Amino acid sequence: MIGRLNHVAIAVPDLEAAAAQYRCTLGAEVGPAQDEPEHGVTVIFITLPNTKIELLHPLGAESPIGAFLAKNPAGGIHHICYEVEDILAARDRLKASGARVLGTGEPRIGAHGKPVLFLHPKDFNGCLVELEQA
């Protein structure tokens, strides 16, 4: 059901410093910052030959990333994102198997302009999983 790894998301306390580290120290291709108000984050994507890294920073006081950084002040891996061909079919199959879909269960548009869903980390070995329709 899952396809390729789309990205690994890392919550960071200082978005510009993290972007500079990937750009200058690691020599990576770093995209521009983009606000995602529906998700409460500002993101920057780092393009790698085989996947992407998504740097996440809180956008507003109610951001879930703010709560994550309160528990992990230095930042850390927040979630992994897998591609799926049909997000609704994937959701229905996962729910039928007992997996919990976060929120309303309806896909929202993510940072790539495609439908996304998040799966409860307790159902996936402590890892928050994002599914993105390919």
**What are the sequence ranges of the domains in the chain?**
2-133
Catalytic choice (16, 36, 62, 130): 130
Whether domain 2-133 has CATH 3.40.640.10: the reply is no
Within a 10 A sphere around the Cβ of 59, how many other Cβ atoms? 18
CA distance 48 to 37: 25
pLDDT value for 9:
98
Cβ-proximal residues to 77 (8 Å cutoff; 6+ apart), any chain: 8, 9, 10, 11
Q: 130 an active-site residue?
A: yes
Identify the segments of the chain with pLDDT beneath 70.
Answer: none
3-state secondary structure of 79: strand
CA distance 68 to 72: 6
pLDDT value for 105:
95
Phi then psi for residue 88, to 5 deg, are -70, -40
